[in-house]
Chains A and B, each alone.
Chain A
Amino acid sequence: MEQISLSHIAIIAGILLILIGLWGILTKHNIIRMIVGFSLFDTGIHIVMVGVGYVKGKTAPILDEAVNLKNAAQEIVDPLPQALVLTAIVIGLGITALMLAYALRLYQRNKTLDIKNFNDLKW
C-alpha cells in the first residue's frame, strides 16, 4: 500500500474514464449518448491533469496563515495544472452546449436521433 500514492490512483481512474468515454462515443447510435460520452472523456482528462500535479503530503496553493510565506515552495502542490484545468472545464461546457444545439437542429430536420439515418455526406 505504500508504493501506490494518491497521484497514481488519480491517474489510473482518469485513464479508465477516458477509455469508457471513448467507447461510448464509438459504439453508440444515439446522438445524445455520444455527447454524454464526450463529457465523460473531458472529465477523465481533467482528473489525469490534476493528478499529475499532486505532490505527496502537501497542501493547497493558497498562501494564508496555514502556509509559511518564506518557504512556501516546500509546502504547496503545483499550481500550474490547476490553472489549466480551470480554463478547460469552462470551455468543455461551452463545447457541450454547442453540440447540443447542433443535435436539436438535426432532430428538427430529420425527426430522429439515430445516426444511421444521416446519410447526406456518405458517398
Chain B
Amino acid sequence: MIKLIAIILALAILLMAIIAVENKKLVVAVIAAGVVSLFASVFYLLLAAPDVAMTEAAIGSGLSTIIFFYVLNKIRKNRKDHA
C-alpha cells in the first residue's frame, strides 16, 4: 500500500519536473519547481525522515519560490517599460 503511494508520488514528481523545464512561460516553470519541492517533502515523510520533510517544506516550497518571484517581478516590470 505504501509502495503504491510512493510510486504515484515519484511519477508526479517526474511529471512536474518535466513541466518545469519544458514550458514556455517562466511563471509556470517556477511554480512547477515549487510543486516538485512539495511532493518531495511528502516523499521524505514516507521515508521516515520528519526533520528533513519540515525543512524541505519551509525552505524549498516557501522561500525559494518567493525569491524567484521577486526577481521575475523586477524583470517583467522593466520589460513592460521597454515595449
Q: How far is the CA of A109 from the CA of B68 in the complex (A)?
A: 19
Contact size range, A: 35 or more
- Which residue of A36, A47, A111, A113 contacts B43 across the interface (Cβ within 8 Å)? A47
Majority DSSP secondary structure for residues of A touching B: helix
Q: Tell me which residues from 1 to 20 in chain A have a Cβ below 8 Å from any Cβ of chain B.
A: 1, 4-6, 9-10, 12-13, 16-17, 20
Docked-complex contact B14 and A30, CB < 8 angstroms: no
Majority DSSP secondary structure for residues of B touching A: helix
Q: How far is the CA of A104 from the CA of B82 in the complex (A)?
A: 17
Chain B count of residues within 8 A CB distance of the other chain: 41
A118–chain B nearest beta-carbon distance, Å? 16
Specify which chain B residues have a CB less than 8 angstroms from the CB of A100 in the assembled complex.
Answer: 67-68, 71
A58 adjacent to chain B (CB < 8 Å): yes
Specify which chain B residues have a CB less than 8 angstroms from the CB of A51 in the assembled complex.
Answer: 47
- Which residue of B17, B46, B64, B71 contacts A17 across the interface (Cβ within 8 Å)? B17
Docked-complex contact B10 and A9, CB < 8 angstroms: yes
A27–chain B nearest beta-carbon distance, Å? 9
Q: Tell me which residues from 23 to 63 in chain B have a Cβ below 8 Å from any Cβ of chain A.
A: 26, 29-30, 33, 36-37, 40, 43-44, 46-52, 55-56, 59-60, 63
A residues whose Cβ falls under 8 Å from a Cβ of B: 1, 4-6, 9-10, 12-13, 16-17, 20-21, 23-24, 28, 30, 32-33, 35-37, 39-40, 43, 46-47, 50-51, 54, 58-62, 77, 82, 85-86, 89-90, 92-93, 96-97, 100, 103-104, 107, 111, 113
